[in-house]
Structure 1
Amino acid sequence: MPMRPTTSRNSSRLSAALASLRAQEEQETLLGDDEERVDGDGGVGYNPDEEIFASDPHKDLPVYRTIHRIRRLILASIDDPYTLVQLRDPRMNALIVRPLVDRLYDPKDCSVVYCLLVNRVRFLHERYYQAHHHETVNTTRANLCELLAGKILRRFDEEHPGRAGLLLLANVLVAGFEPFQNAPADVLSESRHSFEWAIQDRGGYEGKFTALEIAIISESKHFLSGSACQKVVDAVYRGRVVYTPICFIDIIPDHYKHKPVRLYNPRKGPVLNHYRLIVPRTRNIIDIVQFLILIVLYAIAMTNRDHTQWTGYEILFAIYGAGWCLDESATILEHGWKVYTQNLWSFLDITFVGIYVIYLAMRLYGSTHDNLEVSRQALDVLSVAAPILFPRLAFNLMPENMLFISLRAMMGNFMLLTLIAAWCFAGFLLALRWLSFGQVPPDEDPDAETSNPITISKWMLYIWFGLDATGIEQAPNFHLIMGPALMVAFAFLGNTLFLTILVAILSDTFSKIAADASAEIQFRRTVLTFEGVKSDSIFAYRPPFNVLALLVLVPLKFVVSPRWFHKINVTAVRILNLPILLAITWYERRNLWNPTRKPLATTNKRRKFSLWNWARFSVHGDIQAVFETEIPTQVLDDIEELDEIEDEVPNWGGAAAGNGHQLRRATTFGGALRRSNSPTPMSPQARTSTNQTRRRRMSSIVPNADPGS
């Protein structure tokens, strides 16, 4: 009897969902206690016999040639504007996208994704700087590059499962590539000026960028929100995938060691592994704690402020604040301004750094010159930081809240439009100022309010926000006819036209962000992850010890050898971060990877008497507990018998899919569709073997299944 289309569609969705779940479980249980080839830092997938400073494993890839090959293909494929929705249409997918994916995909070349994203950056650049090309055409080409990069990355993921697949995906996204890699000698000789910014020797890694960084600066949000990309981002964020990052400038450079991309096994890593301080999740927690300390010290210092002298609280805040500002400055140098500004709360941090620098300069000047007024003004400037610090804490605690994501985008539009409006409306201020010169009555002071530009600006500002109509009342004092005309025109343009445009622009910005909220959240998560992996050694020192490290280690770098500098740096980091490193090791050895499953009796006993199992205190605790208990074998057999689907479906694929009808069998724990040309029932021996295979697969899907059952 033919299968109904609804049943076939549901079974396909079920199989796809279970396959995704099984892949996720396999990723989370990759490492065991019997892993081999672990280096001294706990890295898996790297030969410990190799050199300490590992050479680039991808140095032979033809990146330069691939970049220009992709550009030629994109230019030949797209000559008309299309939207991203049109590019994803099945017809466009069959005619353009899929052939390009098949042509460009090479399982041995992990630089293809990087080259596609580099071409996307170029097409976005040409969108504004090449007038002979229509803007939307280059936008289409840029979108096609992003779409191809996502599909090729997904094919890497589908064809390389397990631990090797995760390592390959990580190399695709976080391994460093250089645009002129393996270019002809004459091209390299002409482009040497491009490397003048690389003032620090990195042993062959100068000028290299990762595909993840290129995706961030090109704002490839759909690419970054893909499941394959997020698999790597999540692994890097948790510290399961580790690598030596490539940064712009290091304040305290320690490049004695360089390790390639590898997995991390905490059970075989050192107890005091200082490299775990740059894991994004750990780094994010440490940043939040440091910021909480800054807020507490700021509140105490301002509560006990005394402009006549330095208090102990203010000295403590000033020292800690200097270390915190140094950390932010190093973050900007780490990956550059363009990546740093993609952070959700970067504009708040920059504002606070500016306020702190002004405060400290005024405070030191007032103290050294015994100027109490300047000292008082310095503390007044510092009080302005309160509206910056407290909202920033909310941004830290809720980084994926749509309100904060939209607020960051709308703040940029608001500031830009306000500056443009102030620039345009400055002509009204100038006209009113000049009109006031000839309208001063002889019996009044020439310095009347109508001649003061500050007063005129205040009246105009009140009209702008609809707070007061004093400016309109005083308009005849400028000129009997032109004064009221200018004020009324300004009121119409500023209070009506400007606010209407502002509301329209902000509403459009919010609607665009809300329409693709998932991509926006994944993009911000990727930025947070990429910025969390730090190369500069100064990030291993907590404020205010980073100021001390700056004063001691930077001069020491020019005195001792790189090997001794590395030893001194590591020793200092481990001593200053001893409690943090012990806590990280204890947590990661228990929670970084899924632990080995225990027998049913032991597991249930631990759940029953665990003080941390808060669900047992809830009247709805059984709702969660039913998914935590192991499933008996008899129940699994019954489920498999009930959910097995064996029906014939028509061959919609034509000759490419085979002749006649195909039998599609979709089982709950199969995770994939199995096809057969024969509708013959399975024999008892085959059914027994299939059930055993399903149980083994189920043990990797169901969180607490017994693998031996």
Structure 2
Amino acid sequence: MNPRMLNASHRSLSDALRAVRSREEQETLLGDEEQADPDGCLRPNGRPAQVFVPNPHAELPVYTTIHRIRRVVLASIDDPYTMDQLKEPRMNILIVKPLVDRLYDPDDVSIIYCLLVNRVQFLREQSFQAHHQTVNVTRANLCELIAMKMLRRYDEDNEGRPGLLILSNILVAGFEPFQKAPQAVCEANRHTLWAMQKRGGYEGKLTSLEIAIISESKMFLSSSACQKVVDAVYRGRVVYTPTSFIDIIPDHYKHKNISLYDPRKAPLLNQYRLIVPRTRNIVEVCQFFLLLVLYCLCMANRDHTQFTAYEICFTVYAGGWVLDEFASMLEHGWHVHTQNLWSFLDITFVIIYSCYLVVRFHGWIVDNLEEGRQALDVLSIAAPILLPRLAFNLMPENMLFISLRAMMADFTALTLIAVWCFGGFLLAMKWLSIGNKDVDFENSPDPITISKWMLWIWFGLDGTGIQEAPSFHVVLGPCLMVAYAFLGNTLFLTVLVSILSNTFSKIAADATAEIQFRRAVLTFEGVKSDAIFAYRPPFNILALLILLPLKFCLTPRWFHKVNITAVRVLNAPLLAAITLYERRSLWKNSKQKPMGPAKRSRFSFFDFSTFSVHGDIQAVFDEDPPQSLIDKIEEEDELEDAILENSFAAQAQREMSPASGNGMGRRRRRFSSVWQG
């Protein structure tokens, strides 16, 4: 290894401090000289404000880059490797780093997207090419690893707030796989589903963040550069107009470019702040809490003979909540929506509420009191869904809930397989009882009774099925029941415990990546483009009934005016509170410390921290050190950096000298020649 590589690998203290200052600058308050449009979005380089910003990345050769990356990855990997093996220094120097250097282009922000698209393709190919299965998984992992390292290089090469904007364009700017493809290729292969709603050139666009979510690139999403953008989008420091598959109430008159947001230059009632993920998450928790309160009041005052006021309020509000959930499914598709931590609970409640609504209204129309009672009974089973869902909302990063979601999926799949397989025992015992001449056909156990006996044996509750087994057949009946007891109660439960334990171990082993993956999903789903999300339930039902017909009667400009006027009127107190809060806390003051508690106020007459045994630990960071002390520290650090660089160079010369012992120098020279070749 040559001295240049050793010096490049050595990161001086000055470089580390420069990176820290860059991160602090990305969170500090925007300057007063910055120019912004009327919505508070900063305009780069003083450009004039535009109502509809054209796609700034329309000329990037995405189609060519996708196939170029595929050819390079196919030529680089012929054997299966694990992710840990790809991270080893030897593989990093021989394969990963040369590919990063070869593909990196500081002027092309679509390379990360193209890498993740190739990862999705390799994962898809491994499902039907068994003889290349492990190799394709390795190629997919290599694409994710290269994307992570390349994103880190973009972060290192671009400092401050301009660097944050570049990273945001890489992750949340929209691209399409057939961009800049030959015309013949586009006409033959491109899907036409996106033509259902026109978006002024943004049809069919997908973001790198969305591709990373659907491919479950958890290592990429947990990287520091990616989480920096995710946090900025989640807090609303970086804003953009998202793209979606289908909008129930489309309002695409305006399209904002990816930009920084200055709340001091935005209007007091800015309706676009309702799609900020942090704000939307808080509002959704409040909406669900109100839904839970109305549900409890409805069930506590239930009356199947008539609609009570509580039931009417719950039915209308829950209808708006279900409409919001349905719009979320359409926003980014089923695959992305089901990655949400509590999506399976929401879908279950939607099914229960739909069944209740159908039975309840049918019983009311035909004046059947029994159906009204059954409808409320169906609604009562939603309680085990709604109460845990609130806990999921309040503790979304709890490892118990994250692992519980994954284990529920495994448990459901294994249970369905077991029911399917054990259905043969049910048929065999029923047919044995029919063929038993000592038992009348009318007195033979029905399938429901046999299933109940089998279920009791399955969970070890009762042995009635084994006692009644001779009634099916003297010899074959007990044999079948005992065999089922061994397979169901012993083998199945053992396999189930093993699978669930393995699932929990995998999640707990990489808890940080799992938490940050869920955080990325929550952030991506929180940015909405559909105008219906600006209306709180049950006003979204009125918006659907009123605004959707107006969409076909008004021009895009006037429909946009009507829409934002209605949103601002209905959400005026909330929008004012959001603006006042963000003007104080969205960006940090340049004199404010990026970490740790706030400084003590000079007007505070009583400070409890002074009575703490460890109060001095906090006090030493409350005030900046004198400038003379900072200059002295910098001089000593620069001297130590120079000493370290000289020691690294001397060590490299010793390692490369022919006289170095045990042949280490020769091996390093051979390795260096392979690298240079």
TM-score, shorter chain, exceeding 0.5: yes
* Aligned residues between the structures: 642
The answer to whether the 8 A contact 1:344-1:524 is kept is: yes
Query: Equivalent residue for 1:458?
Result: 452
Matched residue SS, 2:266:
coil
**Structure 1 CA distance for aligned equivalents of residues 98 and 433 of structure 2:** 72
Change (3 A) 1:366 1:615: farther
User: What's the CA shift string for 1:375-419, capped at 9, x where partnerless?
Assistant: 001111111000000101111111111111111011101000000
Question: Which of the numbers 377, 384, 388 marks the counterpart of 2:385?
Answer: 388
**Equivalence for 2:499:** 505
* Residues 17 and 359 of structure 1: CA distance in aligned 2, closer, same or farther (over 3 Å): farther
Look up the equivalent residue of 2:459 and give its one-letter code: F
* C-alpha contact (below 8 Å) 2:363/2:371 kept by paired residues: yes
Contact 2:165/2:258 (CA < 8 Å) preserved in 1?
yes
CA contact (8 A) 1:428 1:486 kept: yes
Whether 1:576 aligns to 2:570 is: yes
Partner of 1:200: 197
Supply the AA of the counterpart residue of 2:515: I
In structure 2, C-alpha distance between the alignment counterparts of 1:215 and 1:507, rounded to whole Å: 27
Describe how 1:523-602 pairs up with structure 2 within 5 A. 523-597=517-591
The Cα of 1:44 is off from its aligned counterpart by 1.3
Could you tell me which amino acid in structure 1 is paired with residue 447 of structure 2?
P
Contact 2:29 2:590 in 1 (8 A): no
2:221 to 213, 221, 224: 224
Indicate the RMSD between aligned Cα atoms, in angstroms. 2.5
- 1:127 alignment counterpart: 126
Give the Cα–Cα distance (whole angstroms) in 2 for the partners of residues 546 and 622 of structure 1. Answer: 54
- 1:333-386 per-residue CA deviation (whole Å, 9 max, x = no partner) reads 000000000000000000001101111111111111111111001111111000
Q: Which of residues 151, 156, 177 is equivalent to 1:153?
A: 151
What secondary structure does 2:326 align onto?
Answer: helix
Q: Confirm or deny: 8 A CA contact 2:249 2:547 kept in the other structure.
A: yes
In structure 2, the residue matched to 1:515 is 509
Percent identity (aligned): 66
Three-state SS of the structure 2 residue aligned to 1:649 is helix
Matched to 2:451, the amino acid is S
Deviation at 1:185, TM superposition (A): 1.2
Task: Indicate the larger mover: 23-32 or 525-534.
Answer: 23-32
Task: Indicate which of 242, 248, 251 corresponds to 2:248.
Answer: 251
Q: How does 1:162-241 map to 2 (within 5 A)?
A: 162-192=160-190, 194-241=191-238
- Match among 104, 121, 135 for residue 137 of structure 1: 135
Question: Matches of 2:381 and 2:109 in 1, distance apart?
Answer: 49
Alignment match, 2:66:
67
Deviations 1:231-275 (A, max 9, x none): 100000000000000001000000000011101011111111100
State the distance in 1 between where 2:599 and 2:436 align: 91
AA matched with 1:487? M
Distance in 1 (CA, whole Å) between partners of 2:472 and 2:139 is 57
1:447, distance to aligned residue in structure 2 (A): 3.5
Partners of 1:30 and 1:162 within 8 A in 2: no
Contact 1:464 1:495 in 2 (8 A): yes
Matched, 1:472 2:472: no
**Deviation sequence 1:450-485 (CA, Å, 0-9, x none):** 421111000000101111111111111111100000
Partners of 2:122 and 2:136 within 8 A in 1: yes
| 1:166–1:367 Cα change, 3 Å | same
Once the two structures are superposed, residues 161-194 of structure 1 have per-residue CA deviations (whole angstroms, 9 ceiling, x without a partner) of 11111110000000000100000111112124x1
Match of 1:350 among 341, 347, 350: 347
> What TM-score results when the alignment is normalised by the length of structure 2?
0.90
User: Which moves more between the two structures, 636-645 or 464-473?
Assistant: 636-645
- Rounded to whole Å, the distance in 2 between the matches of 1:49 and 1:466 is 73
Is structure 2 residue 329 aligned with structure 1 residue 335?
no
Amino acid of the residue matched to residue 221 of structure 1? K
Cα drift, residue 229 of structure 1 = 0.5
Cα 1:614–1:557, aligned 2, differ >3 Å: closer, same or farther?
A: farther
**In 2, Cα distance between the equivalents of 1:198 and 1:466?**
57
Encode CA deviations 1:64-113: one digit per residue, 9 max, x unaligned.
00000000000000111011111111111111111111110000000000
| 1:642–1:153 distance in 2 versus 1, CA, 3 Å | closer
Aligned CA distance change for structure 1 residues 478 and 658 (closer, same or farther; 3 Å): closer
Q: For 2:284, which of 287, 300, 306 is the aligned residue?
A: 287
Q: How does 1:668-687 map to 2 (within 5 A)?
A: none
Q: Which residue of 1 aligns with 2:662?
A: none
Over 3 Å counting, the alpha-carbon distance change for 1:619 and 1:288 in structure 2 is farther
Aligned residue for 1:359? 356
**Is the counterpart of residue 104 in structure 1 residue 98 in structure 2?**
no
Do the aligned partners of 1:39 and 1:48 also contact (CA within 8 Å) in 2?
no
Cα shift at 1:635: 4.7
- Aligned residue number for residue 674 of structure 2: none
1:45 Cα deviation after fit: 3.7
User: Given that residues 43 and 262 in structure 1 are in contact (C-alpha distance below 8 angstroms), is that contact kept between their aligned partners in structure 2?
Assistant: yes
Change (3 A) 1:461 1:34: same
* Partner SS state of residue 205, structure 1: coil
Helix, strand or coil: the match of 1:39?
Answer: coil
Distance 1:658 1:639 in 2: 35
Is the contact between residue 472 and residue 487 of structure 1 (CA under 8 Å) also seen in structure 2?
yes
**Tell me, which stretches of 5 or more residues in structure 2 are unaligned?**
1-6, 658-677
Task: Give the gaps of 5 or more residues in structure 1.
Answer: 1-7, 660-709
Q: Is the 8 A contact 2:29 2:589 kept in 1?
A: no
**Does the 8 Å contact 1:437/1:451 carry over to 2?**
no
Measured after TM superposition, the shift of residue 640 of structure 1 is 5.1
Cross-structure match for 1:707:
none
- Shift of the 509–33 alpha-carbon distance from structure 1 to 2, 3 Å rule, reads same
Q: Using a 3 Å threshold, how does the CA distance of structure 1 residues 432 and 598 change in structure 2: closer, same or farther? A: closer
Choose from 410, 433, 447 the match for 2:442: 447
C-alpha change, 1:245 and 1:604, in structure 2 (3 Å) is closer
CA distance 1:358–1:135, shift in 2 (3 Å): same
CA distance in structure 2 between the aligned counterparts of 1:188 and 1:162, rounded to whole angstroms: 39
How far apart are 1:34 and its partner, in Å? 2.5
Cα distance in 2 between the residues matched to 1:557 and 1:311: 36
Provide the secondary structure at the position in 1 that maps to 2:260: strand
The equivalent residue for 2:319 is 322
Matching residue of 1:481: 475
Aligned-pair CA distance for 1:511: 0.9
Change (3 A) 1:129 1:544: same
Which secondary structure state, in structure 2, belongs to the residue aligned with residue 43 of structure 1?
A: coil
Is contact 2:426-2:447 (8 Å) kept?
yes
Contact 2:456–2:463 (CA under 8 A) maintained in structure 1: yes
CA distance in 2, matches of 1:370, 1:526: 49
Cα distance change on mapping 1:356 and 1:82 into 2, 3 Å: same
Distance of 1:35 and 1:197 partners within structure 2: 37
Deviation at 1:632, TM superposition (A): 3.2
